[in-house]
């Protein structure tokens, strides 16, 4: 983590390191299976895997920002938003990220970027319209915490293997069909989809576990920076309550990006909560309530 005034979270650092180690191990096993299956075509496999990784790591922030409708704004276009980010960056002693707005009524915010210098913080028009100044600063402090801890970059890399596994599976199946399924490769071509499915499931679970912890970490460190856990709790309550008033179609469009958002666009019940990218609202409010007591704040 780069030096800032955000409180360090050694638990998050350990979890990010363990996640990256396990993801890397999965990656090696997966590429090994592909090389065994494709034999002499192994250089192509390495080039494809390396190329996709390069694109994912270096351009994922731009792809994510574009996909979520973020447009960079100047201080003249969004003086209140820029003013809040300026105050928080000065308080945290960190470089100011790019500031963007997404034109959607879904009240949310997110951060992207592989480093502090390449980062962007985005708020939706729905969020800006609904939150008071101290609530907005609480949400932005939460997002800047993700940037300071660099967990956005880790989540991007961690999610890459699942994407690659799905893509390679489709390529392998198509290749197997066009070859007519040679006998000596039949077993391996049947094994590739199975290994890909296992890799996808494990990487999905690892990223979900990390994602839930990093949200709690960002809540805590963001609230410590502003010194107002109650403002962040108020923003969480307001955003979660307003989600029910947003058309389901709009929430479905936002749902694929839940892992990046301040609050999930859709949060399921029962079993689906086990695979949620965020802790429950009750868990987050409980942690913030206890933090308020520690700080002696109402």
CB 1 within 8 A of CB 148: yes
Residues forming the annotated binding site for Zn(2+)? 142, 146, 215
Q: If pLDDT is split at 50, 70 and 90, which confidence band does 205 have? A: confident
User: Is residue 66 over pLDDT 50?
Assistant: yes
Select the more confidently predicted residue: 54 or 84. 84
Q: Which pair of tokens denotes residue 118?
A: 């390449």
Active site residue: 76, 80, 137, 143, which one?
A: 143
Task: Identify whether 32 is part of a domain.
Answer: yes
User: Is residue 113 over pLDDT 90?
Assistant: no
Task: Identify whether 10 is part of a domain.
Answer: no
Residue 46 has what pLDDT? Answer: 74
Q: If pLDDT is split at 50, 70 and 90, which confidence band does 177 have? A: very low
Residues forming the annotated binding site? 142, 146, 215
Winning range, highest mean pLDDT, from 108-122, 144-158, 208-222: 208-222
- For residues 146 and 255, give the distance between their C-alpha atoms in angstroms, rounded to a whole number: 19
Residue 189 has what pLDDT? Answer: 62
Strand partners, 100: 72, 122
Task: Identify whether 116 is part of a domain.
Answer: yes
Domain that includes residue 215, residue range: 19-296
Tell me: the pLDDT tens digits for 159-174?
A: 666 666 666 666 655 6
| Averaged pLDDT, 57-68 | 76
Task: Identify whether 110 is part of a domain.
Answer: yes
Tell me the C-alpha to C-alpha distance, in Å, between residue 150 and each of 223, 273, 290: 18, 25, 26
CB 118 within 8 A of CB 263: no
Averaged pLDDT score across all residues of the chain: 83
User: Is residue 185 over pLDDT 60?
Assistant: no
Task: Identify whether 205 is part of a domain.
Answer: yes
Tell me: the pLDDT tens digits for 244-262?
A: 888 888 888 888 788 889 9
- Residue 143 annotated to the active site: yes
**Among all chains, which residue has been given the structure tokens 């929430």?**
251
Q: If pLDDT is split at 50, 70 and 90, which confidence band does 286 have? A: very high
Select the more confidently predicted residue: 121 or 64. 121
- For residues 211 and 207, give the distance between their C-alpha atoms in angstroms, rounded to a whole number: 6
User: Is residue 84 over pLDDT 80?
Assistant: yes
Task: Identify whether 106 is part of a domain.
Answer: yes
Minimum mean pLDDT range among 104-108, 115-119, 273-277, 287-291: 273-277
Task: Identify whether 2 is part of a domain.
Answer: no
User: Is residue 197 over pLDDT 80?
Assistant: no
- For residues 223 and 227, give the distance between their C-alpha atoms in angstroms, rounded to a whole number: 6
- For residues 219 and 223, give the distance between their C-alpha atoms in angstroms, rounded to a whole number: 6
Residue 167 has what pLDDT? Answer: 65
User: Is residue 220 over pLDDT 50?
Assistant: yes
- For residues 25 and 17, give the distance between their C-alpha atoms in angstroms, rounded to a whole number: 12
- For residues 34 and 28, give the distance between their C-alpha atoms in angstroms, rounded to a whole number: 10
Task: Identify whether 140 is part of a domain.
Answer: yes
- For residues 216 and 288, give the distance between their C-alpha atoms in angstroms, rounded to a whole number: 9
Number of domains in the chain: 1
């Amino acid at each position: 983590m780069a030096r800032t005034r955000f409180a360090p979270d050694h638990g998050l650092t350990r979890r990010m390191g363990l996640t990256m180690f396990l993801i890397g191990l999965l990656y090696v096993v997966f590429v090994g299976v592909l090389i065994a299956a494709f034999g002499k075509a192994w250089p192509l496999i390495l080039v494809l895997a390396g190329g996709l990784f390069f694109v994912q790591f270096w351009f994922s922030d731009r792809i994510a920002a574009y996909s979520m409708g973020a447009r960079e704004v100047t201080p003249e276009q969004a003086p209140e938003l820029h003013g809040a980010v300026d105050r928080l960056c000065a308080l945290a002693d960190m470089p100011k990220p790019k500031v963007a707005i997404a034109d959607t009524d879904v009240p949310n915010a997110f951060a992207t970027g592989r480093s502090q210098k390449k980062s962007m913080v985005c708020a939706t028009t729905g969020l800006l319209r609904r939150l008071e100044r101290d609530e907005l600063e609480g949400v932005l402090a939460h997002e800047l915490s993700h940037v300071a801890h660099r967990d956005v970059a880790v989540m991007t890399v961690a999610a890459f293997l699942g994407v690659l596994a799905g893509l390679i599976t489709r390529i392998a199946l198509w290749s197997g069909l066009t070859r007519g399924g040679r006998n000596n490769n039949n077993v391996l071509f049947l094994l590739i989809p199975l290994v890909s499915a296992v890799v996808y499931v494990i990487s999905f679970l690892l990223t979900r576990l990390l994602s839930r912890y990093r949200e709690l970490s960002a809540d805590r460190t963001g609230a410590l920076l502003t010194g107002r856990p109650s403002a962040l709790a108020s923003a969480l309550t307001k955003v979660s309550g307003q989600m029910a008033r947003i058309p389901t179609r709009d929430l479905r469009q936002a749902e694929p990006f839940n892992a990046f958002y301040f609050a999930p666009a859709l949060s399921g019940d029962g079993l689906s909560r086990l695979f949620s990218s965020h802790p429950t609202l009750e868990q987050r409010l409980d942690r913030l309530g206890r933090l308020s007591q520690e700080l002696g704040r109402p």
